A and B are shown apart, each in its own frame.
Chain A
Amino acid sequence: MKRKIRIPDLGGARAYILHRPHATVQALERQLRAIGLTVVHCWPELPAEALSGDFVFFDADQGYDEQFPWKPGESPMPMIALIGTEAPGRIEWSLEAGAHAQILKPVGDGGVYSALLIAQLAFEARAQLSGEIADLRRRLDERQTVVRAVTLLAARGKSEAEAYDQLRQMAMAWRVTFEDAARRIVANHDEQRKSDDRRDLG
């Protein structure tokens, strides 16, 4: 009965609402305050302090990229789109802007709490995935290094499988990743060859 998702405590969190003054904003603010958040209103641009905010609600109807002090899709906090016009172009834009959840306008008596939770969890999941992808990409880029390291180790009279195994044990002994160990071996070898070259010159 292990739970995968932990419901975050939202008390004391700060929400920025990027929307022109409107009844919808009042209804949104009422719900946010009841949930225990503090609310900051801004329009038409997010101030730099918003970078330290916990949530950003933004207007999907009249929003544009330059409102945000970060690149589209790279917000450092969960973003929730306030959608009035369900036009495909506007939905496309809010997705590109990085919406993690949405609320339809007019905002009524509910919907904000679930949007906060869904946005928070989607944000965390996306951040975790981005981290994993970056790591995988780095390891993919290191493929050539690994092949070189294995070849170098194998050149000392080992089979390829033995060399591979040796590299793994070195990584473990050095407490570094497999790819880092490979890079070390290759760098070591290049260094040695350079000094050998210099000796030849001398």
Chain B
Amino acid sequence: MKKRIELGLLYSRSGSYSLISEACRTGALSAIAEINSMPDLPITFAPIERDPQGNIDAYGPLCEEILRDSDARHVVGCVTSWSRKEVIPTLEKAGGTLWYAVPYEGFEASDHVVYTHACPNQHLLPLLGWAFARLGRRGFLTGSNYIWGWEMNRLARDVILSASGEVLGERYLPLGSLDVERMINEIRATRPNFILNNLIGPSQYAFLEAYHKLGQEDAHFRPETCPILSCNLTECELPAIHPDAVEGLVAAGPYFRGATGWPQAQRNFGSSHEAAAWSSVYRLAILLSGHEDAAEQSLAQLLHDAPQGSEGIDLSTHHTALPVLIAQVENGAFTVRERFDAVAGDPYLARGRNPIAPGAPRLKVVS
């Protein structure tokens, strides 16, 4: 008789970032289905799902509802950093755990969160290192007025300036704003080597389309000489963007469709969002399968007691090691251009902010 374990799911099925939450949700649900059909595992998962509908104020109460009204101690969910920060006090109070499967800006290591996607030493630093070697060190920084954009650009500025590069501009748009003209004009005037895109949602889509038009007018602004770099764009958002506008975009991530090696699965995923959510549920299933009372334990206890180890989850930071892939959109799909060995998540950049990932080949600077 298998033990039935309730597992919370907290993803918004509507709202401005629903493409990302749907990708994560798909990954989590497919992992649940796989776990439930594995004859060797002593547990099954029963999803307890709540939908905040993209409303930030709904996350805390709905997370509390899951932890109060069901036996679930673990919740897979949240896309935005804001929503993650909203649920942490609830998790702390109820002794619950959030499995967070989205790239984020780092500088967090909650006792109640497992971070299964990349943080800046796994996306931004290697991506900048890649760009420095191939394109140059003159960057233009864009972002949404939101913690992701602010923190990513703050770090990018530090890294670019310490590499004797130049930040030609740093511009933000309010969340949801499509008013990209000023950014485009500044980029046209400053002619950078690359553009770091930390815009999210519709602002990002509008920006990519406007930038593509700029490239048609002036050949400098084409992907060969001045591409757009992104640390969180995956296949799951491509349907929202005009195919021409996203062609040539360069992104960093632990997985792109068709890549092998991570996560440890015998199949493909739609995107790294889906893969990371899948990996969250899969790791949790292994952790819960090894010993008695595992389902009732706090995260710290569970990671400590699991007989087969902590499933790659670092005991002090709750981050994981991930491969770093640099990929470029080619004919509508990401093609991997460079692959670095797995690197441990270092949310506070305690191991420094060198832009080249360890194990990277020596790169020649093209100027």
Residue numbers of A with Cβ under 8 A of B are 1, 3, 7, 9-12, 27, 30-31, 33-37, 108-110, 113
- B366 CB within 8 Å of chain A: no
Shortest CB-to-CB span from B49 to chain A, Å, is: 25
Q: Main SS of the interface on chain A? A: loop
**Interface residue from A7, A27, A36, A108 paired with B350 (Cβ < 8 Å):** A36
Complex contact A11–B88 (CB within 8 A):
no
Beta-carbon contact of B92 and A11 below 8 Å: no
* Chain B residues with CB below 8 A from A9, complex form: 349-350, 352-353
CB <8 Å contact, B348 and A11: yes
Q: Which residues of B contact A110 (CB under 8 A)?
A: 88, 110
Report yes or no: B111 in contact with A113, Cβ–Cβ below 8 A.
Answer: no
User: Is the CB–CB distance between A109 and B349 below 8 Å?
Assistant: no
Q: How distant is B355 from chain A, measured CB to nearest CB, in Å?
A: 14
* B92 and A34 contact, CB distance less than 8 A: no
Interface residues of B (CB under 8 A from A): 88, 92, 107, 109-112, 154, 157-158, 167, 170, 300, 316-318, 346-353
A34 in contact with B348 (CB, 8 Å): yes
A11, B351: Cα distance in complex, Å: 6
A11-B349, A36-B348 known; A30+B316 contact, CB < 8 A: yes
Given known A1-B170, A34-B317, contact A109–B111 (CB-CB < 8 A): yes
Find chain B residues with CB under 8 A from A11 CB: 348-352
| Interface of B (DSSP majority class) | loop
Could you name 22 residue pairs across A and B whose Cβ atoms are closer than 8 Å? Answer: A1-B167, A3-B157, A7-B154, A7-B158, A9-B349, A9-B353, A11-B349, A11-B350, A11-B352, A30-B300, A30-B316, A34-B317, A34-B347, A35-B348, A35-B350, A36-B346, A36-B350, A36-B351, A37-B350, A109-B111, A110-B88, A110-B110
Contact yes or no, B353 A34, CB < 8 A: no
- In the bound complex, residues from chain B placing their C-beta under 8 Å from that of A34 are 109, 316-318, 347-348
User: Separation in Å of the A38 CB from the closest CB of chain B?
Assistant: 10
**Given A31-B109, A34-B317, are A109 and B353 neighbors across the interface (CB < 8 Å)?**
no
Are B92 and A109 interface neighbours, CB within 8 A? yes
**Given the interface contacts A30-B316, A33-B316, does A113 sit within 8 Å of B350 by beta carbon?**
no
Cβ A113 vs Cβ B107 within 8 A: yes
Q: How far, in whole Å, are A9 and B158 apart by their CA atoms in the complex?
A: 12
User: In whole angstroms, how far apart are the Cα atoms of A46 and B300 in the complex?
Assistant: 30
